Amino acid sequence: MLLTQTSFLLALTTSVVAAAPIEKRWGFWGGWGHGNGRPWWTPSAESSYLEFGKRFPGAGANAPSCDLSQAAMPIAPTPLPAPGAGLSLSHVAIGRGTQNYTCDTKNATAVPVPVGAVAALFNVSCIAAETPELLSKLPNIALNLPVPSSDDQNSPAYQDMSGHHYFLDATTPFFNLDTSLHQYGSGMFKKSNVSAAPTDAVLGVNNQGNGSVQWLKLDAKNSTGQVFQTVYRLNTAGGNAPKSCTGMPAAFEVQYSSEYWIWSE
Ligand SMILES: *[C@@H]1O[C@H](CO)[C@@H](O)[C@H](O)[C@H]1NC(C)=O
Ligand SMILES: *[C@@H]1O[C@H](CO)[C@@H](O)[C@H](O)[C@H]1NC(C)=O
Ligand SMILES: *[C@@H]1O[C@H](CO)[C@@H](O)[C@H](O)[C@H]1NC(C)=O
Ligand SMILES: *[C@@H]1O[C@H](CO)[C@@H](O)[C@H](O)[C@H]1NC(C)=O
Ligand SMILES: *[C@@H]1O[C@H](CO)[C@@H](O)[C@H](O)[C@H]1NC(C)=O
Ligand SMILES: CC(=O)N[C@H]1CO[C@H](CO)[C@@H](O)[C@@H]1O
């Protein structure tokens, strides 16, 4: 297993291309393949990243801009409210990171308490606009890949990085999509509505764990202070804590991935 962190986004897209009928349209570049159901990559295939970026609409820093008005969000099992009037889709990202929880280890009946998430975000706006069936597969694939080192500016993954998602406090998710390469925007949010994940959502990494986190609608904490107004967390993969704290430490992380759909004024 020579999968490196820098190959993250390409591994995402390539592994699906390799598996799907569209393989014939875009081809398959040497050095990539599947083993034990997981995508793999060898360092000698670095050049295939660049080649891939040129040919695959939606991968690579030089991808053309695409018409996000054509992109349609997946519908939650309990449908989430539509974005507010006058908002337009501004960005779609794959998040890959952890959901954080704490447990009161002195309390025998305690349940895990969510204390936030930390994720690197990768730009899949064009994939959302042009190949939605590909997009829907990415969270499950990303969950089984290591969290990429997204701050290495020399890595190919950095070129496709949207930014970072983290929490300012336990109830304030923050999206920072400003990097040295672009200024897509940022914003503070609050939870607005939820849906359970579909019953067939993965349980966790390698389909083992306690299930996939809820789908969410987040609204701006203060709509006048920021461009981003609404964020949907959809097609989640993993991230749920066990139902009880029995046997759990005082603080722990659960691996997850998700689509984030970001709407602006
Ligand atoms: C990245 O996101 C921006 C919108 O924030 C979009 O214009 C651009 O086309 C996206 N690039 C890719 C490769 O999806
Ligand atoms: C969530 O959205 C549904 C459907 O739009 C709505 O019926 C429900 O009242 C909303 N819940 C909250 C807490 O706003
Ligand atoms: C222990 O945890 C349960 C479940 O969260 C809670 O209802 C109860 O108040 C807690 N007890 C103490 C002493 O904190
Ligand atoms: C919202 O943001 C605006 C502009 O930054 C600020 O003037 C206003 O006081 C904020 N409102 C609240 C309730 O924090
Ligand atoms: C939880 O998130 C923070 C970042 O906010 C991280 O540094 C920390 O290691 C995470 N895990 C735990 C178990 O606290
Ligand atoms: C209730 C449940 O399915 N708990 C599982 C949570 O995840 C851990 C790690 O995979 C399992 O050991 C538990 O059985």
pLDDT in tens, 242-253: 999 999 999 999
| Structure-block tokens of residue 240 | 């749920």
The answer to whether 263 touches 231, Cβ cutoff 8 Å, is yes
Interatomic CA distance for residues 124 and 9, integer angstroms: 9
Interatomic CA distance for residues 130 and 240, integer angstroms: 30
pLDDT of residue 95: 96
Span 173-186, mean pLDDT?
94
pLDDT, tens only, 189-243: 999 999 999 999 999 999 999 999 999 999 999 999 899 999 999 999 999 999 9
Per-residue pLDDT band at 14 (split at 50, 70, 90) = low
When mean pLDDT is compared across 6-20, 84-98, 133-147, the lowest value belongs to: 6-20
Nearest ligand to the C-alpha atom of residue 188:
4
| Domain count across the chain | 1
Q: Pick the closest to residue 228 from 183, 175, 179 (CA basis).
A: 175
User: Could you please report the per-residue DSSP string of 34-51?
Assistant: EETTEEEE-GGGHHHHHH
The answer to whether 33 touches 40, Cβ cutoff 8 Å, is yes
Phi, psi at 99, each rounded to 5°:
-95, 135
pLDDT of residue 64: 57
Q: Is the CB of 71 under 6 A from ligand 1?
A: no
The answer to whether 228 touches 187, Cβ cutoff 8 Å, is yes
**Structural domain for 79, as ranges:** 5-264
The answer to whether 89 touches 71, Cβ cutoff 8 Å, is yes
Span 26-50, mean pLDDT?
30
Q: Cα(131) to centroid of ligand 1, in Å?
A: 14
Q: Whose CA is nearest to atom 4 of ligand 3?
A: 110
Closest atom, ligand 3, to C-alpha of 108: 1
Ligand 3 binding site (Cβ under 6 Å of any ligand atom): 107, 109-111
